[in-house]
C-alpha cells in the first residue's frame, strides 16, 4: 500500500473541507477529531498537529494531535494527545502510519504519545493488536476497553421518555412543575457561574480545577461558532442552577461536562434537576439527527460502596445499553523526560491540595460568604492536564 503522510500546523480551506467530509463519513468518528478542535487546543496553550494520510487521491486517515509544551523545560514537549482518534476505517492503515507519527514526535522532543481511537469492542481486536505491536499500553494497564452506555435515539420522543425508569420520569415532571426551564447558556455571567459549579464539583471530588480552559474554549469555538455542541442550563426564573455541555458528531452525541449548583433554593430542595437537563440534551441530539447518545462512562455493576455509584445510578435511569470502546493507550518516547515531569506533577498536586485546604479553612472560619469565583482567575492554560 502506497500512503502519503502529511503533517500540518494549520489547514487551508480546501484541506479543512476535505477533513470534514472524511470526519462525517468515518465509521468511528468523534467530535473531538473535528478540525475546529485545533482552535480549541490553541486556546488552551497547546500546539495542534493535523495528520492527513492519503492513498492515491483518497483520504484514509486523519488525526488531530495536540502537543502539550513542557511548562518548565524549554525545547521539549511533555506529550502529544490524540483524543478519541485518530480516525480510520482500516486498522492496516493505522499500522502503516503510526511509525511515521512516532518518528515525528521523537524529532519534536515529545515525551509520550497518547491515542484513543473510538473503535467499539466488537471491532477492536485488530486495532488493539496494532497498538500493542507498536509498544503502546493501555492506561490503566488492565483497561484496554472503557465502559460507557449508549441511548438509542431512533424511537420517538414519547417512546424514549417511556423507556426511562419511573423515578427518572417523575424527576423530569417534578422539575417542570417546579418552574424549572432548560435553555442554552448564552450570557457571559451564566457561563462563569457554570464554571464555578464545575470548580466546586471537582474540588469536592479531589480532581483539581484545571478543566476551565477546556470548557471555556469549547464554548467559544465549538458551541457558539460551529454548532457541534450546545451548553444547556436549567433556570429557575433568572437563576442558573446547573449546566450540561454536549458535543456531537453526525451520528452520536456525547455528554461532556455536567455540574449543578452546590445549593438550591428551598422550594427546589426536593427536586432532582439533572433528569430534566439530560432529557432536554437527549432531545436536542435527536433533533440534530444523531442516532445515539453516549453518557460517557457507565457501568451497571458498580458497587454501592463506590464513590461513583450515584453517578452510574443516575445514568441508569435513562436505560443506556452498556457498550465498550478502546480506551487510552500511551507510548513513552523519552523515559527521563516523563519521569521528571511525573515527579513535578506529584508535587504540584500536593501543593494544590494544600492550597485548597487552606482556602476552605479561610472561607469556613474567616470569610464564610466568600464564593469560588476567584478560582476562575487561576492560570489554568499553561499546565492543564488533557481531558
Q: How far apart are the first and last CA of the chain?
A: 34
DSSP H stretches of helix in the chain: 13-25, 37-43, 91-107, 125-133, 157-163, 166-177, 188-204, 212-217, 274-287, 309-316, 335-365
Q: Beta-carbon neighbour count of residue 255 at 10 Å?
A: 21
Report whether the peptide linkage leading into residue 86 is cis, meaning its omega lies within 30 degrees of zero: yes
Cβ–Cβ < 8 Å for 297, 126: no
285 CB burial (10 A radius; 0-12, 13-18, 19+) = buried
Quote the cell numbers at residue 98.
Answer: 503510526
Give the alpha-carbon dihedral of 269, 274, 275, 278, to 10 degrees: 160
pLDDT of residue 208: 57
Distances (CA, A) of 326 to 121, 319, 362: 7, 22, 44
Longest CA pairwise span in the chain (Å): 69
Cis peptide before 140 (omega within 30 of 0): yes
Q: Which residues pair with 137 in a beta bridge?
A: 330
Residue 178 has which C-alpha cell?
Answer: 417546579
User: What per-residue confidence (pLDDT) applies to 349?
Assistant: 72
Selection from 166, 102, 105 nearest residue 135 by Cα = 102
pLDDT at 198: 86
For residue 105, what pLDDT is reported? 93
Q: What is the pLDDT of residue 377?
A: 38
Which residues are CB-neighbours of 323 under 8 A, at least 6 positions away? 120, 121, 147, 148, 149, 150, 294
Q: Please report, in tens digits, the pLDDT of each residue of the chain (387 residues total).
A: 689 999 999 999 999 999 999 999 999 999 999 999 999 999 888 999 999 999 999 999 999 999 988 666 666 678 899 999 999 999 999 999 999 999 999 998 898 999 999 999 999 999 999 999 999 999 876 678 999 999 999 999 999 999 999 999 999 999 999 899 999 999 989 988 998 888 888 777 666 555 666 777 787 788 876 679 999 999 998 999 999 999 999 999 999 999 998 888 777 777 888 999 999 999 999 999 999 999 999 999 888 888 889 999 999 999 999 999 999 999 999 888 788 777 777 777 777 677 767 777 776 775 554 444 444 433 333 223 333
Domains with residue ranges and CATH for the chain: 4-147+327-344 (3.40.630.30), 149-324 (3.40.630.30)
Phi then psi for residue 251, to 5 deg, are -115, -20
Are the C-beta atoms of residues 214 and 385 closer than 8 Å to each other? no
**Is residue 273 within 8 Å of residue 175, measured between CB atoms?**
yes
Amino acid at each position: 500500500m502506497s500512503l502519503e503522510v502529511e503533517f500540518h500546523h494549520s489547514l487551508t480551506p480546501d484541506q479543512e473541507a476535505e477533513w470534514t467530509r472524511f470526519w462525517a463519513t468515518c465509521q468511528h468518528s468523534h467530535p473531538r477529531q473535528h478540525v475546529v478542535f485545533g482552535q480549541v487546543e490553541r486556546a488552551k496553550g497547546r500546539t495542534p498537529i493535523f495528520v492527513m494520510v492519503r492513498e492515491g487521491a483518497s483520504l484514509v486517515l486523519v488525526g488531530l494531535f495536540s502537543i502539550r509544551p513542557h511548562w518548565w523545560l524549554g525545547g521539549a514537549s511533555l506529550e502529544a494527545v490524540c483524543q478519541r482518534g485518530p480516525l480510520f476505517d482500516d486498522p492496516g492503515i493505522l499500522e502503516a502510519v503510526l511509525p511515521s507519527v512516532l518518528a515525528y514526535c521523537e524529532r519534536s522532543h515529545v515525551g509520550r504519545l497518547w491515542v484513543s481511537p473510538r473503535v467499539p469492542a466488537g471491532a477492536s481486536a485488530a486495532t488493539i493488536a496494532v497498538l500493542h505491536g507498536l509498544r503502546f499500553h493501555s492506561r490503566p494497564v488492565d483497561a484496554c476497553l472503557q465502559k460507557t452506555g449508549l441511548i438509542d435515539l431512533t424511537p420517538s420522543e414519547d417512546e424514549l421518555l417511556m423507556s426511562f425508569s419511573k423515578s427518572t420520569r417523575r424527576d423530569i415532571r417534578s422539575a417542570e412543575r417546579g418552574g424549572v426551564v432548560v435553555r442554552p447558556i448564552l450570557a457571559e455571567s451564566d457561563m462563569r457561574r457554570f464554571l464555578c459549579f464545575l470548580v466546586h464539583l471537582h474540588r469536592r471530588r479531589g480532581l483539581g480545577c484545571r478543566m476551565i480552559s477546556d470548557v471555556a474554549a469549547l464554548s467559544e469555538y465549538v458551541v457558539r461558532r460551529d454548532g457541534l455542541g450546545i451548553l444547556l442550563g436549567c433556570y429557575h426564573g433568572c437563576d442558573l442552577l446547573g449546566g450540561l455541555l454536549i458535543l456531537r458528531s453526525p451520528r452520536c452525541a456525547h455528554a461532556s461536562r455536567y455540574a449543578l449548583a452546590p445549593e438550591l433554593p428551598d422550594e427546589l430542595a426536593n427536586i432532582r434537576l439533572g433528569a430534566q437537563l439530560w432529557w432536554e440534551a437527549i432531545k436536542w441530539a435527536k433533533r440534530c439527527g444523531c442516532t445515539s447518545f453516549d453518557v460517557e462512562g457507565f457501568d451497571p455493576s458498580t458497587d454501592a460502596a463506590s464513590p461513583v455509584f450515584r453517578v452510574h445510578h443516575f445514568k441508569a435511569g435513562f436505560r443506556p445499553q452498556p457498550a465498550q470502546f478502546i480506551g487510552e493507550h500511551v507510548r513513552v518516547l523519552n523515559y527521563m523526560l516523563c519521569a521528571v515531569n511525573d515527579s513535578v506533577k506529584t508535587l504540584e498536586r500536593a501543593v494544590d491540595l494544600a492550597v485548597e485546604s487552606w482556602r476552605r479553612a479561610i472561607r469556613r472560619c474567616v470569610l464564610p460568604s466568600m464564593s469560588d469565583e476567584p478560582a476562575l482567575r487561576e492560570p489554568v492554560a499553561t499546565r492543564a492536564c488533557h481531558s
